[in-house]
Amino acid sequence: MARFTEEFENPEDARLLLSEIKSLARSSRKKEIRFMEVCGTHTVAIFRYGIRELVPKNIHLLSGPGCPVCVTPNSSIDQFIELSRMPGVIGAVFGDMMRVPGSDSSLEIEKAGGADVRVVYSGLDALKVARDNPDKQVVFFAVGFETTAPTIAATVLIAARDGVENFFVLPANKLIPPAIRAVLDTEDLVLDGLICPGHVSTIIGSRVYEFIPSRYGIGAVVTGFQSTDILFAISLLLRQIVEGKPRVQTQYSRLVSDDGNPAALKIMNRVFEPCDSSWRGLGSIPQSGLNLRPEFVRFDFSNRLDATVLKSKEPEGCLCGEVLRGKKEPVDCPLFGSSCTPEAPVGACMVTTEGTCQAYYRYRGRVR
């Protein structure tokens, strides 16, 4: 494993790439070059390696809607809180979701008040909880991007095959390409290139990003998570600008192919179908979420909830929505680091290690 990381953290390679970046940034003759990453792991890696400080001052690295916990809207969190209060229901969630503030509560608060909410690491863990508790209804909060959707789909198939009648999901998975399109359609947001996600792209491949150069005239590079991966991606985007040839390139070819993982996509598409979906900060985006197909709809717990009773609201003063669209940086938020910290988060972007606000907070000495 170390071989696959150390090989991409070689200081000499990093120095060469930085010198290439400096020279290309100069050749571009642009006063400001703005690249956005759309992956929480990239956000953290860029801070951890100090890349913002290393690149020339005319390069600005912005964070987009790449953290699955952050983009899950309060309406979904409120729904899950609501179901966790129902008698005979066990809620099963990824650990990061526990502390995300909903409109009036969080799952952590509900658990402290007696709700049976359990942290699981996968849909299969939630299915085991269902098998172990046949007299309860177990609901798994299906959040995440295309990276988690195939394994959740596989869990639904196993539950269907084995006739597990007390297992359900609250579908809230999201799809990255429609969100990128929504960001690029944002008025007043000027970007010069996209650093496309590594994990998601192992599933969906790189070809799906072709709309970025063809429709928006900017480049897109899929990259990995080590220091030289990211520096290489920046140098590729700069070269595209200098050459005037925006295109999709894959720096992360050791794991990402043009067409992704056909087996994972097949299983995902067998169980789920695209639907319009609401994102924190981006609103409703057409065909950007996943609903269970009609033959699996009996697993969908949202049908058992009365959606009309929920009136979701965002925390007062929180700028998560604008942060997720790249329109503001966390340091622009008056609550950043004062009333909003990782220990006492006000908004979702401060909750998880991959949230943009938490990354800015943890590495705040490096923000420029």
| Binding region for ligand SF4 (CB under 6 A) | 318-320, 323, 330, 333, 335-336, 340, 346-347, 349-350, 357
Dihedral (Cα; 46, 50, 55, 56), 10-degree rounding = 130
The CB-of-338 to ligand SF4 minimum distance in angstroms stands at: 9
- Of all residues in the shown chain, the one whose CB is closest to ligand SF4 is 347
Task: Indicate the burial class of 186 (C-beta count within 10 angstroms; 0-12, 13-18, 19 or more).
Answer: middle
How far apart, in whole angstroms, are the C-alpha atoms of residue 94 and residue 24?
42
The smaller minimum CB distance to ligand SF4, of residues 221 and 319, is found at 319
Q: Which DSSP category does 257 fall into?
A: -
How far apart, in whole angstroms, are the C-alpha atoms of residue 209 and residue 237?
14
* Structure tokens, 26: 């100069």
The CB-of-330 to ligand SF4 minimum distance in angstroms stands at: 5
The CB-of-44 to ligand SF4 minimum distance in angstroms stands at: 15
The smaller minimum CB distance to ligand SF4, of residues 300 and 322, is found at 322
The smaller minimum CB distance to ligand SF4, of residues 120 and 357, is found at 357
Q: Is the dihedral of CA 358, 126, 279, 108 positive or negative?
A: negative
The smaller minimum CB distance to ligand SF4, of residues 204 and 333, is found at 333
The CB-of-8 to ligand SF4 minimum distance in angstroms stands at: 30
Tell me how far apart the terminal alpha carbons of the chain are, to the nearest angstrom.
33
Q: How would you write 92-141 as a 3-class SS string?
A: EECHHHHHCCCCCCCHHHHHHCCCCEEECCCHHHHHHHHHHCCCCEEEEE
The CB-of-323 to ligand SF4 minimum distance in angstroms stands at: 5
C-alpha distances in Å from residue 350, one per residue of 99, 200, 250, 267: 10, 22, 30, 33
The smaller minimum CB distance to ligand SF4, of residues 10 and 341, is found at 341
C-alpha distances in Å from residue 86, one per residue of 138, 168, 175, 201: 11, 14, 30, 38
Contacts with 144 (C-beta within 8 Å, 6 or more apart), sequence order: 68, 94, 152, 173, 174
The CB-of-336 to ligand SF4 minimum distance in angstroms stands at: 4
The smaller minimum CB distance to ligand SF4, of residues 17 and 323, is found at 323
The smaller minimum CB distance to ligand SF4, of residues 172 and 319, is found at 319
* Structure tokens, 320: 């998560």
How far apart, in whole angstroms, are the C-alpha atoms of residue 248 and residue 354?
25
Helix, strand, coil share of the chain (percent; to 5):
45, 15, 35
The CB-of-320 to ligand SF4 minimum distance in angstroms stands at: 4
The smaller minimum CB distance to ligand SF4, of residues 75 and 151, is found at 75
The smaller minimum CB distance to ligand SF4, of residues 178 and 330, is found at 330
The CB-of-63 to ligand SF4 minimum distance in angstroms stands at: 11
The CB-of-75 to ligand SF4 minimum distance in angstroms stands at: 17
- The answer to whether 144 touches 151, Cβ cutoff 8 Å, is no
